[in-house]
Amino acid sequence: MEVKQTYEKPLIRKITLQQAKIILRSKFQNIVRVMRPSSSVTTMKPEAGRKYEKPEFKRLTLEQAKLLLIGRANVGDEQAADLLYTIFDDPNAPQKGHF
């Protein structure tokens, strides 16, 4: 007994890369519209005219440096806390430990 297979159309049709991009872009825009109905969908473009700026050192005032050091110590930087203790340690004050 011989079984004959019939031809079945593929479930997914072949598309080009450009067609895939167009489809995905439209799906993305629909999702964004549902999430934010009041805003319009804008295309994502890099900022034109923005040029590279070489990093440079900025001289801090004494007050700015102290505030940065205190901020680092407050978020748990032990080296910053040690430096604060070294800078502001009063040798005449009773020792309680630092931070």
pLDDT of residue 17: 77
3-class state of residue 79 by DSSP: helix
What does the pLDDT profile of the chain (99 residues) look like in tens digits? 677 777 776 666 666 777 777 878 887 787 777 777 665 545 556 566 788 888 888 898 989 988 888 899 899 889 988 988 888 877 776 666 555
What global pTM score does this model have?
0.37
Residue reference for tokens 């159309």: 9
pLDDT of residue 29: 80
Residue reference for tokens 């005032």: 61
Q: How far apart are CA 51 and CA 58, in angstroms?
A: 20
